[in-house]
Structure 1
């Protein structure tokens, strides 16, 4: 299972491009990209977390959940 953030606050919908690319995969929302739900991320028991530079302040917390790679 894969978790992904959404691009808009309060939305559980992913972008159209994302939906097309992952239409056959089970993907759940872990919240808006500006305020991801860390508890949901923990529940997914990820092997790896990929994050963008916008929320680099969450790097330490995410690294405690699973190995985390940040990119810009």
Structure 2
């Protein structure tokens, strides 16, 4: 299995993934549908009703997306 998986996330998914870095008690309410989409991609997990970023989610967030690089150029 290739560890370098390319994720083409929507802007809302990127914003939600970034928001998951903040401790749950300090962040605003997240869109549950988007959190579930991220969980399906294994970029987030939900435990006891609290969403958290996963290790893979952190890697994807740090690596970014080729589409984001295109916008920056």
TM beyond 0.5: no
Q: What's the TM-score once normalised by structure 2's chain length?
A: 0.28
Higher helix fraction: Structure 1 or Structure 2?
2
| TM-score, normalization by structure 1 | 0.28
More strand by share: 1
